[in-house]
Structure 1
Amino acid sequence: MTTTLSATAAGLPTPPDAAKKPHEVKAPHGAQRSDEYYWLRDDKRKNPEMLAYLKAENAYVDAAMAPLKPLEDTLYNEIVGRIKQDDSSVPYRERGYWYYTRFETGQDYPIQARRKGGMDGAEEILLDVNAMAKDKQYFNVGDFEVSQDNRILAWADDAVGRRQYKIRFKNLDTGEIYPDVIDDVSPNLVWADDNKTLFYVENDPETLLTVRVKKHVLGTPASADVLVYEEKDDSFYMGIGRSRDDAYICISLHSTVSSEARCAPAADPKEFVVLAPRERDVEYDVDHLDGRWVIRTNAPGADGKPAPNFRLVTAADDARSRKEWKDWVAHRDDVFIEGFELFDGFTAIAERSNALERLRLIGKDGKEEFVKADEPAFSMGLSTNSEHDTPWLRYTYTSMTTPATTYELNTQTGERKLLKQQPVIGYDPDQYVTERFWATARDGVKVPVSLVYKKGFEKNGKAALLQYAYGSYGSSTDPGFNSTVVSLLDRGMVYAIAHIRGGQELGRKWYDDGKLFNKKNTFTDFIDVSAELVKAGYAAPDRVAAYGGSAGGLLMGAIANMAPQQYRVILSQVPFVDVVTTMLDPSIPLTTNEYDEWGNPEKKDYYDYMLSYSPYDNLKAQAYPAMFVGTGLWDSQVQYWEPAKYVARLRDLQLADKSDGKPPLLFRTNMEAGHGGKSGRFRRFREQSEMYAFMLDQLQVGSRQVGSGPSPK
């Protein structure tokens, strides 16, 4: 490969040029900003001029990527060729049935099924999602639940991609689809014990916030559904679920810094009682087994000391305040408690230490032990443990070289069973190496980095590198196996995950140090990791690519403004790049819930800080890296107009690179999808292959290395 898209740009059509239309965005404190591309926003997605612009950008991508279509096809065939097409999940037992998901060769969507008594029983197909998705550009089943008597199925599906679901019902004895349909809900369903009452969460039709819990009685119109609970504070999200022992149905409410649980007996769910009233900066989540509540919380203990990394407490059935909580598992500064699972004979705690996940087991006698791991960088977590009256713990294990693996551990005897490892056709884990690297950020903080590369790689400063990160909401990016990355490793690239501040890999402080007025740490950490990896010889300084999506797309926009010279190419999916304007508009989904994540720009100090890093507002006349930006027209989390405006303004300001002209800027809108891209297990790999082809071309990465094995068919 000797030419890049920028070198052949003379043969391409002229990039689309969106019209400029004067518009002022005003803040309550009087600040104003000019937004000449504000007109690209259309909540109904019907403006002909806007749609024409998006289609023109797509046509430009088609033309620009035409020379790379063979490479895209090769990558797609490699990625899809690693997938075992007739695959199935590990079955789990619940109320006498074994439930599982399976795929058929050539099919995009799963089949949800079960067998009575054991896996040798007759198969009952609950949902054939392939048939349901026929002739649809997008389709997703977000949740399904079987009634307690095993006879009625309720499910929630979305045929648009905007995450507004419809609930439907099926009689599993007869196959009859009931006429009952409930619109505009989140995919979160719970049956009461009477097998005819379904609890669900209703969304606000404009903001898509989870605002009401309702109950539907089969055979009655949805318009008659009874309101169970309505949340008035629009900074809270809401969900509903059953307790571990099925004794309670609980409504869980949580904001960035506060939470609350309301529970009612599943046998008679008339009154939902608050277990502990919400308090700012106090978070908790609950479960119930063996006649007591077990609660994970960051509330201070009896000694008054704060517990930012969370601790576990217990409470009696009738406890109604924090004063009645009893200490159980103490808070530690070096261990973050992420979750737990209750069993009759033990409790499994999912926790983080030294930026790695681990599982701690606590027996009834108080004895503790850890589930063992075999690699320096890995990801371990709780799997589906549907029953509590068993000594067997199911957990998942993966690393950047080990495909997702499900184990079952007998906590009494120590016996371990391998239930399944994700099959990856043509992949040999012994040909790849993973390691943990610690980069020093500009303020002296050590940032963990997980790396993977092909065996035989030399740290001579010549390789190409793809660096990924997210770094927001306390969401940790763990070092798991990524089948698509194998195509990069086989071409000599290095892949790195930067565990930057804003995630929670190193505990709650790691998160707090990357949000609100500390948000810029997220961006500078990423930039400093790139520099450290180059310095250590993992990559050539002119062959570094960066990749992020959603809030990770904000990260991509920020680093492009702050350190464009460090990156040859940036891949940005559904990027949150218009931070201030979005956060000033409470009608946009997710805005009000996130004031404690980003800040409320109606307050001038937050406004000024957010404005200082918002990618759209900080674009300037300079040389930017080559970029591939993607979005979905129906995205409900990051609206399509954010990346559309960003690309339009960037086209105005982007300067030519000194060497070979202006780097390419491509903007792809999926016209039939939302935040997660196309539905179906194969379609999304077409989008990934297009981005990878663009990146490989820009990095001047050649074909697969000798010894990589045959390219999968």
Structure 2
Amino acid sequence: MSFPNATPSAPIARQAQGSDPYAWLQNRDSDEVLDYLKAENDYQAQQLADQTALRETLFQEIKGRILETDLSLPSPWGPYLYYTRTTEGDEYARHYRCPRPADDSNSIDESQEELLLDPNVLAAGGFFSLGAFSISPDHQRLAYSLDTSGDEVYQLYVKELSSGAVSSLPFEDCDGSMTWANDSNTLFFGELDETHRPHKLYRHRLGDACADLVFNEPDGRFFLHCFRSSSERQLILVLNSKTTSEAWVLDAEHPEQAFVCLAPRSEGHEYFPDHGLLDGVWTWFIRSNQSGINFALYHSPQQASGVPTRDVWQTLVPHDDAVMLEDMSLNARGISLSLREGGLPIIEVRPQGLPAYRVQLPDAAYSLFVQDTLEFESDRIRLRYQSLNRPPQVRQLDLATGDQVVLKETPVLGTFDADAYVSQRLWATAADGTQVPISLVVRRDLVGKATPLYLYGYGAYGESLDPWFSHARLSLLDRGVAFAIAHVRGGGELGEAWYRNGKQEHKHNTFSDFIACAEHLIANGLTSANQLVISGGSAGGLLIGAVLNQRPDLFKAAIAEVPFVDVLNTMLDPDLPLTVTEYDEWGNPQQPEVYERIKSYAPYENVSAQAYPAMLVIAGYNDSRVQYWEAAKWVAKLRTSKTDDNLLLLKTELGAGHGGMSGRYQGLRDVALEYGFIFKVLKLNE
């Protein structure tokens, strides 16, 4: 038995009776399911076996650009500099500290450094993800959490730095967060419910055998998160859904007391507080959307009688219809606002007692954010800056003067010249006339010419895909393949309205925007349908699946990583991890009109008897966000439906989760596999 028009050796997925013939693939850990996934892995390996040498060439090529033994930029805190060091041959960076130099420089003293944590030992060759890495305020202890399977459930540990003794805390189903109170003896941590939602906050005093329940959030739409304020004087507990939030606060000096609500939740009101200084007075700063969807910044002095109620908040930065206030960073001597205007990130600094200014940068399209505010009393902050053709830089910014110094630029070994590549910002016109930005990078000698092109997209949750640099991507660019990002609606690149116009009843805009970007690149002679490869992961995989159903003729190949393609069935099952919390993003299909809306674009439901491009689909067996069976069911249905002989490959990482395999070298091999697939489909000569 074989599939119509499929390679005879392609795995055959059994079709069961019922409305969903491949629902049996959801029987996790059954022999039948595991045998099928392994058969798909074997088939993928067989089909790409002729690329073994090419993949090794790509791996060595990419690895050869990376400085394998390197030191991170040290961060000063109290009496120490904290930093990490990567070593050639090791998958993970080690964590260190050394005494802080008297001249307050960033120079480390290797003779006095302490090894705080070695993930290479802890990983023991298996999957490894470090959750919390939190030094106690007195610098005597390290709290850290580990996920060793990829399911994002963490075990908690505390290490005594003076002796090296490590204690495993006796708690289960932890979300990985660990927040210190100022006594350096009390930890707050979160617990996951059966749907993988952080729903409870516990307080644990070191040495005790148990923990006290501090907060329980029963509403399945809300996630719980605890952190320290910028001032280090307050603990903040934020409960937020996709559309509403509520914050509770606690004096970090008195962890035994109860959290107090800053402003009771009100449907549609999102607010996020922090604590710092304004004109020498301890003040609450609140970023809120109460006066408009792009958020404004409010302030209220700390009150001895309790937290400032919402009616006394005073406007510090008013709402602006054209500028999104995405975040704020507080230092004793200034406020740094993270803004978004015209599709680009902007940092606006408001030094205490001095005029405000915007940080000036060299490129037209870029990624920029506040990486480190350093200590609260610091008069400097660190910015992380990069573009499609410029490696990441850590820039030190003097808050008062605006002066910038590049402290560190990620090295690119071998022959590399940023000016050999051109980064551009293009605009496509969507079906409804909306202008959609595209970020493009191409080798300078190929500017304006039709080249193979790799188009990436996401478009969900208000996330912004700002242009980023990639060592690996140079292997595409140097072979004449251009790279582009479609900044479609559903993302946050052009503010909150851009996000809202690509979700719920407007989700179709995400797909039509992506198609418009592809058509724009083709119409302007930058590529052709026979040279265009598209890619996306998670919710971006939904995007890829949807546009493949709608316009398969527009693309030569597609890569979908941990794709959210079985969206209708997933959203119909409230017992699955995260489903209820996703109602605000996609809608609740228990409602008939929402059911029909999701069904109209869901990739799995809309697979049809037509020719599809070549496809490589990647899944993670332990993925708690997008279950492995979404990709498996989608591929199984495609095999029975599609009318072409193009490659259709499924690779399931049986020991990994949402982020794929852990470890930097394994990550490079995964990239080499994807690039090799692209070169095979495009028939690019080596």
User: TM-score surpassing 0.5?
Assistant: yes
| Aligned partner (choices 514, 519, 532) of residue 507 of structure 2 | 519
Name the residue aligned to 1:125. Answer: 115
In structure 2, what is the Cα distance between the partners aligned to 1:577 and 1:480?
A: 26
Determine the C-alpha separation between the residues in 2 that align with 1:432 and 1:244: 39
> Which residue does 1:217 correspond to in 2?
205
The residue number in structure 1 matching 2:104 is: none
Residue aligned with 2:44, SS: helix
User: Is 2:331–2:373's contact at 8 Å kept on the other side of the alignment?
Assistant: no
Q: Distance in 2 between matches of 1:385 and 1:187?
A: 23
1:9-48 aligned within 5 A: 14-23=9-18, 34-42=19-27, 45-48=28-31
Range that drifts further, 250-259 or 390-399: 390-399
CA contact (8 A) 2:374 2:381 kept: no
User: 2:575 maps to which residue?
Assistant: 587
Q: Which residue of 1 aligns with 2:169?
A: 180
How big is the shift at 1:700?
A: 2.1
Amino acid at match of 1:37: Y
- CA deviation map 1:454-504 (0-9, x unaligned): 11114233x101000110000000011122111110011110001000001
Q: Measure how far apart 1:78 and its partner are.
A: 1.3
Letter of the aligned partner of 1:289 in structure 2? G
Write the distance in 1 (CA, Å) between the matches of 2:533 and 2:388.
Answer: 18
Shift of 1:411: 2.5
| Equivalent-residue separation in structure 2 for 1:147 and 1:681 (angstroms) | 28
- Report if aligned partners of 2:25, 2:633 keep a CA contact under 8 Å in 1: yes
- 2:247 corresponds to which of 231, 247, 261: 261
How far apart, CA to CA, are the structure 2 residues paired with 1:145 and 1:663? 49
Q: Indicate which of 304, 307, 315 corresponds to 1:327.
A: 315
2:177–2:189 Cα contact (<8 Å) kept:
yes
Paired residues, number: 666
One of 617, 635, 642 as aligned partner of 2:630: 642
Q: Does 1:620 align with 2:608?
A: yes
Match of 2:271 among 255, 261, 284: 284
Equivalent residue for 1:500?
A: 488
Q: Which residue of structure 1 aligns with residue 124 of structure 2? A: 134
Deviation at residue 614 of structure 1 after TM alignment: 0.3
Contact map agreement 2:374 2:382 (CA 8 A) in 1 = no
State the shift of 1:416 in Å. 2.1
Q: How many angstroms apart in 2 are the aligned matches of 1:179 and 1:636?
A: 24
State the Cα deviation string for residues 633-660 of structure 1 (Å, max 9, x = none). Answer: 000000001100000011000102xxxx
Q: Which moved more, 1:385-394 or 1:112-121?
A: 112-121
Partner of 1:354: 342
Q: 1:611 aligns with which of 583, 593, 599?
A: 599
Structure-2 separation of matches of 1:321 and 1:587? 37
Structure 2 residue matching 1:14: 3-state secondary structure: coil
- C-alpha displacement at 1:609, in angstroms? 0.1
For 2:554, give the aligned amino acid: Q
Whether the 8 Å CA contact 2:287–2:295 is kept in 1: the answer is yes
Match of 1:665 in 2: 648
Alpha-carbon distance in structure 1 between the residues aligned to 2:554 and 2:90: 42
Matched, 1:443 2:443: no
Shift of residue 21, structure 1, vs aligned partner: 1.1
Query: How does the TM-score come out when normalised to structure 1?
Result: 0.92
Q: Equivalents in 1 of 2:519, 2:601: separation in Å?
A: 20
Confirm or deny: 8 A CA contact 1:294 1:315 kept in the other structure: yes
The DSSP-based 3-state class of the residue aligned with 2:672 is helix
The letter of the residue matching 1:311 is A
TM-score by length of 2: 0.95
How many angstroms apart in 1 are the aligned matches of 2:84 and 2:298? 36
What CA distance in whole angstroms lies between the structure 2 residues aligned with 1:582 and 1:338?
A: 30
**Gap regions ≥5 residues in structure 1:** 1-8, 24-33, 301-306, 657-661, 704-713
Q: Which moved more, 1:694-703 or 1:473-482?
A: 694-703
For CA contacts below 8 A with separation 6 or more, give which structure has more relative contact order: 1
Structure-2 separation of matches of 1:179 and 1:594? 33
Whether the 8 Å contact between 1:277 and 1:321 is mirrored in structure 2 is no
Q: CA 1:282/1:292 → structure 2, altered by over 3 Å: closer, same or farther?
A: same
Please name the residue that 1:304 is paired with: none
Of 557, 560, 564, which residue of structure 2 is paired with 1:569?
557
Question: Helix, strand or coil for the counterpart of 2:458?
Answer: coil
Indicate conservation of the 8 Å contact 2:374/2:380, yes or no.
Answer: no
Deviation sequence 1:431-465 (CA, Å, 0-9, x none): 1110100111111100000000111114233x101
Alpha-carbon distance in 1 for matches of 2:472, 2:169: 41
Q: Summarize deviations over 1:163-183 as a string: whole Å, max 9, x none.
A: 000001111000111253432
- CA–CA distance in structure 2, aligned partners of residues 73 and 63 of structure 1: 16
Question: How many Å separate the matches in 2 of 1:150 and 1:319?
Answer: 29
Q: Give runs of aligned pairs for residues 374-453 of structure 1, distance below 5 A.
A: 374-426=362-414, 427-453=416-442
Counterpart in 2 of 1:684? 667
User: Is residue 207 of structure 1 aligned with residue 198 of structure 2?
Assistant: no
Which residue identity does 1:531 align to in structure 2?
E
* Partner amino acid, structure 1, of 2:17: P
| CA distance in 1: counterparts of 2:600 and 2:317, whole angstroms | 42
Candidates 465, 490, 497, aligned match of 2:478: 490
Structure 2 unaligned blocks of 5 or more: 102-107
- Cα distance, 1:366 vs structure 2: 5.6
Who is 2:105 aligned against?
none
1:238 partnered with 2:228? no
Distance 2:592 2:403 in 1: 59
Kept in 2: contact 1:578–1:615 (CA 8 A): yes
AA aligned to 1:248 is Q
Superposed CA offset, 1:616-641 (max 9, x none) = 00001000110000001000000001
Distance in 2 of aligned mates of 1:327 and 1:354: 24
Report the Cα distance in structure 1 between the residues aligned to 2:34 and 2:339, rounded to whole angstroms: 47
Deviations 1:386-406 (A, max 9, x none): 312122121111000111100
Task: Give the counterpart letter for 1:293 in structure 2.
Answer: W
Residue of structure 2 aligned with 1:68, choices 38, 51, 64: 51
SS of aligned partner of 2:275: strand
Q: For the residues of structure 2 that align with 1:464 and 1:76, how far apart are their CA atoms? A: 21
Superimposed CA distance per residue, residues 487-527 of structure 1 (whole angstroms, 9 cap, x where no aligned partner): 11001111000100000100100000000000010011001
Query: Percent same amino acid among aligned pairs?
Result: 39
Tell me, yes or no, if the aligned pair for 1:110 and 1:129 is still in contact at 8 Å.
yes
Contact 1:503 1:511 in 2 (8 A): yes
- AA aligned to 2:464 is S
Runs of 4+ in 1 over 4 A off after TM superposition: none
Quick check: 191-200 or 623-632, which moved more?
191-200
Query: What are the Cα deviations for residues 565-610 of structure 1, in whole angstroms up to 9, with x where unaligned?
Result: 0000000000000111101111111111110100000111111100
Distance in 2 of aligned mates of 1:346 and 1:199:
29
Tell me if the contact between 1:180 and 1:219 (Cα under 8 Å) persists in the aligned partners. no
Measure the CA separation in 2 of the matches of 1:296 and 1:149.
30
Which deviates more from structure 2 when the two are superposed, residues 508-517 or residues 144-153?
A: 144-153
Instruction: Find the aligned partners of 2:195 and 2:347 in 1 and give their Cα distance.
Output: 38
